[in-house]
Structure formats: C-alpha cells, structure tokens
C-alpha cells in the first residue's frame, strides 16, 4: 500500500505506555494536534494510533544551558532536527494484519463480511468490506515509520455512510481532515449511551444530530423527555445573534409526535399538532416518590408510611390521603400501625403535586397509554415540559411514564422469547433523558426505573441515551453499562474520571479529553466505534437539514396549531 510523506520514526515504547516517535527534521511539532489519527507501518502489521502528547527534545544539555539568541536564525536552523527535535506520544488502538490488505476498501463498493477466524479479534470494522481489525497485542519495531492517516484508513476503521449493509451515520470529521467519521447505529442503540460535557459545549445540538440519525436510518424508536422544550419544534441557536434551529418535528413531520405537559406554553410557542398529556394521582406509586424525595423533602418515615397507605387503599392512596382529616389520620394510625406525624407531613408535602399543571386527581382517559400506542405504531415521541421544567416536575413525569414502558416491554420481550416469531420482536426503543445524574446517582440508581433500564433492559430491547454535564454524579455500576460515550470538554477531575470508568488506556485518553475545544469537538469511544476518536462534530444547520433527507414541514398538508385527542376533548367537555 502506498503511504504519504512519513512524519517520524518509532524510537521506543511499550504496550502499556504507548509509542514514542521522533519527528523527522522537516516536520514541525506545531502541525500536530492531540487527538490526531495516525498510522504506524510495522514489519508485519499496520497500527492505527491516536496522538496523545507532543514534546520537545534536545540531544545535549548544553543546548538547554546556552540556547541560541532569538535573532540567530542560522544557528536555530542548524540545530533543528539534530540538536533539537520534536517527539510525539502515540497510543495504538487497533492493528491490521497483512493478509487483510487485499480486502481494504478503496472505494464505496460493499463486500460481504468475512467470518472471523481469529478468536482474539474483538473489534469489527464499520465497513462491510472483508476487513478484520485486531486488538493491539504487540507494538511495531524500532524505526517503524509513522504517517498521517489517509481517507482509505478512515474508511477501513469507521466505514462510510452509504454502505448498503450497515446503518452508518456521520457524526463528524477528524480535527484535521475533511473525512467523515461514522457511528454504527445498530451497535449504538443496542446498548445504553451517554453524551457528556460541561454547560455550553453543545450537548443538545449533538443530541439532535444523533437522534436525527436514528430516525433517518430507522435504527430505533425514540422516546425523548424534553426538559427544556428544545428537541420538538425549534430551539434557540447559540451565538451572538438570536436565531433558531429546526426541531425533530419539523425535520421528520410524519414520524415524530409531540406530547405536551403544558398545553398553554406549547400554544404560545406555535408548536403544531401537539397532543396533551396528563398524569393522575392513581398513576403515581411510592417508587416515583422515592426518586423525588429530595425535591419534596420526604423522610424515610414518610415513605414507609406511604407504603402502608398504598397497601391499604391501592392506587387511590394519594387521593384518599389528601382528603383525610386529622381525626381520620388518627384513626388510621391506630388501626394500621402508622405514624401520625409522618403521615401528616406526607400529606402536607404531597399538596405540592397539586400545583403541577399536568397532575389531575383522576383522568378518565389514559394519556400515558396514548404515548405507548404511538411508540407501538413506530412514532418517535417527544414529551415537552414547557414551564413545568423544574426538577420535581421532570423527574416525576419521566419516572411514571418509564415505569409503564418497562412493564410493557418486559412482557413483549418474554412473548417474543416464547414464540420466536419475528413479528413479535419488539421494536428497539431508546429513551433520552437530561440531567441524568438526578435519576442515576448512587443513592437512587437501584431504586429508580432508569437504573433498572440501564442495567437490565438491553435484553428487553430498551436502552437509554443519557445527556449530562456531571457524569461523576452517575452510579459507577450504571456508568460501566454505558456502551458508547460521546464527551465534549470537561474540566472537573471527578467528571473526567467517571468518563473513563472501565476503559482501558484511560490515562492517555485523559490528556486528549483535556485539550478539546470548548465548542463542536468531542471524544467518542465505546461500543459503536472500533476505536476512540476525536471529531469535529457535525453542524446542525441548513446543510444538515438537506442531508438527512427529511420531508420539509412546508410540504406537509395543513395541520391545526394545537390538537387535543378526541378523548381529551370529551374529558374537557367539548
């Protein structure tokens, strides 16, 4: 295979620490960026590597003690490349053996995937060409040459978007090349994933790009809990001047359905064709209150007495509690061994739920069932919160809806395992939640439905897409189940440590993550990509709208600005 101009030679290294490369005299250290994708051609194998560090070296300590004057350009040129030189640290990620080279894709023609014969192979190229990538078990020999990765190398590892045999989706480009980097969406949705980064790094825009990919490629059905109402119809773009970007409903009008917990706010924003969504007290269980115990300031004693009330009154326990007088509470405690002060405190604190716009004492119509019916029909559902975006409101509603989805998908998966009928196979569902550490912190992850989904629901065809700026707040066991991690800039050491939970070679990747730009750059590693890679993330703009190939909203027939279901109209007396 022909290579370009060599950048340097391997001078030392180890399998654990990585490779040290001395740059050739005509290569400037300023041309290298941490996170760059490089290729080392060994005697037998080709190694795909990530640049993790750059440094300056000298051949003699006398040069450091007596450096040339800034004006003495001649002496600087004489020393450059001999007395002074640049070095680069590389972390080998994958290797390709020579027998595979005949099948390296040089174009876009897809071939059938070869069945693996090497038991050690644990990585699969995102190309349907006859390529097998191996985990790195050795290192190249001394003086092996290092090259810039070419487009062909990127195609070997990351595939191409128009591959007919895979659902590859372009997530961005390398930081120094105009070559697409793809995610394998089939692998992406089969495990829970995370998008992390500090505030202002573009997590929401990156999330919209990924969700658009799963919708366009039909990789999964999406349920998105939209805390700040920025995924459905439109959102404010970041920048000095005010502008908006299209939401998923505008890009995919025939495939995305919006449900709103705040119909008035949805009307004011001009959202078209939204469905109302209400939750009744009889749909709220004690497990839901455990998640929001901090927001409601509930004690352990109050929750224990809530269980007593539920066991006595069933689903109507909250309505019965709110209607009870002091005398009735006293009588109940005497007969059921409850604690009067704890029950009275519980009654007082649950009155806060009455102020939530989407809470009703009773709902003759099953609105949550509507959401589940839309998902069953293959619709991508966005639940907007409008002005109800405080943590109490967000956490309560998401937990109530997700619990019912959990129960239904468990039943569906068990039926499919029993019948083995392809028509009974549940559609892959991906649930997107923001502020994920609130649901998945160590104290509550084992009690909430989202902790259960993260740990167990992959076998039931349900996964999570968690969006968060504080990954250190997520339980370590849950983080270990995160398949693909897409991480923008993070500054906090605890957050950085959390990102690399269970990741081999984390030390070298830490330096890469710390050097990301604050906008439109991310480190991607995990299940949906064969090796870690730093990308300049895809812009969410007019060009993206055209590329995803969605039907423009303007091409759709006229729809009402706001729509209540027929059952909802009947409930409201229309």
Q: How many CB atoms lie within 10 A of CB 47?
A: 23
Residue among 399, 404, 387 nearest 436 (CA): 399
Residue 110 has a pLDDT of: 37
Look at residue 318 in the predicted model and tell me its pLDDT.
Answer: 92
Please list, in sequence order, all residues whose beta carbon lies within 8 angstroms of the beta carbon of residue 109, skipping any fewer than 6 positions away: none
Q: Which residues of the chain have pLDDT under 70?
A: 1-3, 98-131, 239-241, 447, 505, 549-574
Q: How many CB atoms lie within 10 A of CB 248?
A: 23
Q: Output the pLDDT for position 66.
A: 80
In whole angstroms, what is the distance from residue 563 CA to residue 258 CA?
Answer: 10
pLDDT at 152: 87
**Whether the Cβ atoms of residue 526 and residue 153 lie closer than 8 Å to each other:** no
Q: What is the DSSP letter of 201?
A: S
Q: Where are the domains of the chain?
A: 6-166, 182-278+363-568, 282-356
The DSSP secondary structure of 346-411, one letter per residue, reads HHHHHGGGGGSTTEES--SS-HHHHHHHHHHTT-EEEEE-TT--SHHHHHHHHHHHHHHHHHHHHH
φ, ψ of residue 327 in degrees (nearest 5): -65, -40
- pLDDT, position 98: 58
- Per residue in 261-279, pLDDT (tens digit) is 988 888 888 887 889 999 9
Q: What is the pLDDT of residue 112?
A: 37
CA distance 499 to 490: 10
**C-beta contacts of 493-502 below 8 A and 24+ residues apart:** 495/196, 495/198, 495/469, 495/470, 495/471, 497/472, 498/471, 498/472, 498/474, 499/196, 499/471, 501/476
Residue pair 383/401 in contact (Cβ under 8 Å)? The answer is yes
84 SS3 class: strand
Measured CA to CA, the distance from residue 151 to residue 130 in angstroms comes to 17
pLDDT at res. 444: 74
CA 65 to chain centre: 50
Q: Half-sphere exposure (CA, 13 Å, Cβ side) for 289?
A: 28
Compute the distance between CA of residue 256 and CA of residue 378 in angstroms, rounded to an integer.
9
> What is the rounded CA–CA span in Å between residue 2 and residue 10?
19
Give residues with Cβ within 8 angstroms of 145, minimum separation 6: 3, 6, 8, 9, 10, 40, 41
Of 533, 538, 509, nearest to 178 by C-alpha is 538
**pLDDT for 83:** 83
182-278+363-568 has which CATH code? 3.40.50.300
Kind of pairing, strands 380-384 and 18-23?
A: unpaired
Residue-level pLDDT at 89: 94
Helices (H), 299-356: 300-313, 317-323, 326-336, 340-350
Taking the whole predicted model, whether its pTM rises above 0.95 is answered as: no
**Cross-strand bridge partners of residue 407:** none
Which position has the token pair 């519980």?
A: 346
Bridge partners of 472, per DSSP, are none
Q: Which two tokens stand for residue 64?
A: 């450091």
């Amino acid at each position: 295979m022909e290579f370009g101009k060599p950048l340097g030679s391997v001078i030392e290294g180890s399998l654990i620490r990585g490779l040290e490369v001395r740059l050739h005299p005509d290569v400037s250290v300023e041309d290298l960026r941490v996170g760059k994708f490089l290729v080392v051609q060994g005697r037998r194998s080709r190694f795909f590597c990530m640049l993790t560090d750059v440094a300056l070296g000298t051949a003699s300590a006398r040069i450091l003690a007596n450096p040339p004057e800034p004006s003495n350009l001649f002496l600087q040129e004489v020393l450059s490349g001999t007395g002074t030189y640049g070095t680069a640290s590389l972390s080998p990620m994958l290797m390709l053996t020579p027998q595979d080279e005949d099948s390296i894709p040089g174009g876009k023609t897809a071939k059938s995937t070869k069945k693996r014969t090497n038991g050690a192979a644990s990585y699969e190229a995102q190309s349907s060409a006859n390529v097998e990538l191996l985990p790195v078990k050795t290192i190249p020999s001394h003086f092996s040459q290092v090259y810039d990765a070419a487009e062909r190398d990127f195609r070997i590892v990351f595939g191409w978007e128009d591959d007919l045999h895979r659902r590859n989706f372009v997530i961005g480009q390398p930081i120094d090349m105009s070559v697409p980097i793809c995610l394998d969406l089939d692998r992406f949705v089969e495990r829970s994933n995370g998008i992390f980064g500090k505030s202002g790094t573009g997590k929401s825009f990156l999330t919209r790009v990924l969700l658009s990919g799963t919708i366009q490629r039909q990789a999964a059905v999406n349920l998105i809990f939209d805390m700040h109402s920025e995924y459905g119809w439109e959102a404010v773009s970041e920048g000095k001047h005010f502008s908006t970007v299209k939401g998923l409903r505008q890009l995919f009008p025939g495939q995305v359905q919006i449900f709103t917990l705040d119909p008035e706010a949805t009307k004011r924003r001009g959202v078209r064709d939204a469905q109302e969504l209400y939750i009744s007290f009889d749909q709220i269980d004690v497990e839901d209150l455990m998640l929001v115990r901090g927001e409601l300031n509930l004690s352990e004693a109050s929750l224990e007495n809530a269980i007593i009330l539920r066991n006595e009154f069933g689903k109507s326990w909250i309505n019965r509690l709110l209607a009870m007088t002091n005398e009735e509470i006293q009588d109940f405690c005497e007969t059921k061994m409850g604690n009067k002060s704890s029950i009275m405190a519980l009654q007082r604190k649950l009155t806060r739920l009455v102020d939530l716009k989407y809470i009703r004492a009773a709902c003759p119509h099953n609105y949550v069932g509507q959401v589940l019916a839309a998902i069953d029909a293959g619709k991508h559902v966005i639940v907007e919160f409008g002005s109800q975006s405080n943590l109490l409101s967000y956490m309560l509603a998401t937990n109530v809806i997700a619990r019912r989805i959990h129960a239904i998908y468990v039943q569906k998966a068990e039926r499919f395992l029993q019948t083995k009928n392809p028509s009974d196979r549940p559609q892959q569902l991906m649930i997107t939640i923001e502020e994920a550490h609130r649901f998945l912190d160590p104290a509550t992850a084992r009690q909430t439905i989202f902790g259960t989904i993260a740990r167990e629901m992959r076998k039931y065809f349900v996964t999570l897409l968690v969006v968060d700026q504080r990954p250190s707040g997520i339980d370590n066991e849950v983080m270990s189940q995160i398949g693909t991690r897409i991480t923008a800039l993070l500054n906090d050491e605890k957050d950085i440590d959390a990102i690399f939970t269970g990741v081999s070679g984390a030390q070298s990747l830490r330096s890469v993550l710390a050097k990301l730009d604050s906008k439109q750059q991310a480190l991607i590693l995990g299940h949906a990509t064969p090796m870690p890679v730093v990308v300049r993330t895809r812009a969410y703009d007019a060009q993206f709208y055209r590329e995803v190939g969605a039907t423009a909203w303007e091409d759709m027939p006229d729809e009402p600005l706001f729509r209540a279901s027929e059952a909802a109209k009947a409930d409201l007396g229309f």
